[in-house]
Structure 1
Amino acid sequence: MDFTNPLVYGVPCFIAFILLELTYSKTHGDDHLYEWKDLFASGFMGVGSAILGPLFKIIFAIVLFEYTYEFFNPEGIDGIRRNILGYESFSYAWYVWLFCQFADDFTYYWFHRANHEIRVLWAAHIVHHSSDNFNLGTAVRNGWFTILYKPLFYMWMPAIGFPPEMVIVCLGIEALWQFQLHSVYIPKLGFLEKIFNTHTMHQVHHAQNIEYLDKNHGGFLNIFDKMFGTWKELDDSINVKYGVIHAPNSYNPMVILTHEYKDIWKDVKKSKKLSHKLMYIFGPPGWSHDGSTLTVKQQQEEFRKEKERNPELVFSRPN
């Protein structure tokens, strides 16, 4: 079967909704929701992703997924594909689509969480968090290097029998959901908040407040965040500060794309031990051999102790 990636239709919708939100913000007194230089930088990132995405999708995703699917699900002499574990490979039935989307969401959670907890992956993903603004323009501010390794996280899906086209469509649907989460104009959604990853939860994810760091990695659902201890509800008493602790402080796209890689290189060079060098690359962001910088968990532990000493503390902003 031949399926069209939903993102083909999503791109013009992205542009339309960004323009709609931009117009609404400017006509309703939210002049600081969008900043022109920041929007142009985000737009440049988005255009680059739109150009590079299809090219690398063919090389890395389609070819990789097809090869994996063919290898683990060979076609028998009766024309039926069976997984090497013995069962018949999955069909295109409606319920299989639901299972595939659920599997995609589970994979997205761990892919997204890894981008926050492994520094070399964070160097690619920090691009998306580098804006101090939270809007639909930020939604398209994507790093270009994540497409080189993202398919590797999803290889298990065609391996167990999901058709590659189905996996790619589910990835596209996930991306559409993620785009629309980047808006401050959608309030809390009542009972839906118990199951789905919503706009206010994604505001938490984009905040640099210490208690919000590395929270809410989910795609459609928030159940995996709740299962694995990374869920956090938006607290109306906290003044949210968006962006990252170590921002590039530049609107230059090349600086935005590469600044964290340069910082990794500096840290690797200053350390003499191989184990330290590897930790600066593959350890959590903020790790240091001398304690000069702290990981998110270390910062949150210090903040917890500070709140115990000062219970009235309701706002935090990283140094």
Structure 2
Amino acid sequence: MGNKLAKFKEAAFGFGFLMPSLLGFGIFLFYPFFKSVYLSLHSTNPRGQIVDFVWFDNFKDILGSEHFYQSIKISFLFALMTIPTCLIISLCLALLTHKKNKINIYFQLIFASSIAIPIGNASVIWKILFHPTAGMFNYFLSFLGIDPIGWLTDPAYALISVSIMTVWISIGFTYLVLLSGIKGIPEDLYESAKMDGAGSSAMVRKITLPLLSPAIFFMSVISVIGALQSFSQINILTEGGPANSTNVVVYDLYQEAFVNYRFGTGSAQAIILFLIILLFTIVQFRIAERKVHYS
């Protein structure tokens, strides 16, 4: 009896430390998720109030809508533009600046600095840079004799412009993760490779990249999740326009739920997006993780 009481007290003591985190998850994660599931099965009136239980009609309407598939396509294009570009640039910067010296310390600080800038502030800065008349980008283009570009007003450039800003804001965190991974590789492996006559490119291919694969895999997974959930920069820079050229799924469901007050279809879109992200995460773990070297 005494042993059971001691174990119970120990478990209760542990749960006491976990309770603040569990409470936070419950309020800000689990409750909104189950509320979204509940709303996705109901229809709402123009004031956002629940009217009727409609089963899966909201999902049928969304999956039968060409507009939804267009937003899915834009989301995937956005992910393809940002994720590989950010990973490649961050990897190259990490490879160039991982050695310990005074100059590299300054470069590391510069390359990682974007992690300290909130995405809302960064979006406002880049919106000014992209301005068609007062922006610095078109100002520099005028020196080259190139006509001004509608970075955020031309459907041909809007998604590219948002992607450029997203890559810039994402490089800081990605760079730090990859730099930490490179610094964790034992130096004696490189020394042994040098003694065997291996060049710099061979050491990168045979030593650095295989041992850095866990960090690259980690960044690939969270980058896919982050890209498919992007909202703030699109809301500030383009508001889904022009001509819906940057209307990704998250912004589309935001418009559906909080502008049109159709919480049922907006929640259904959120559930479908959750399933898409979950599917991609599972696929990445099943396929890409096979090429990851943990030792």
Give the structure-1-normalised TM-score. Answer: 0.29
Structure holding more helix per residue: 2
Instruction: Point out which structure has higher relative CO (alpha carbons under 8 A, 6+ apart).
Output: 2
Give the structure-2-normalised TM-score. Answer: 0.31
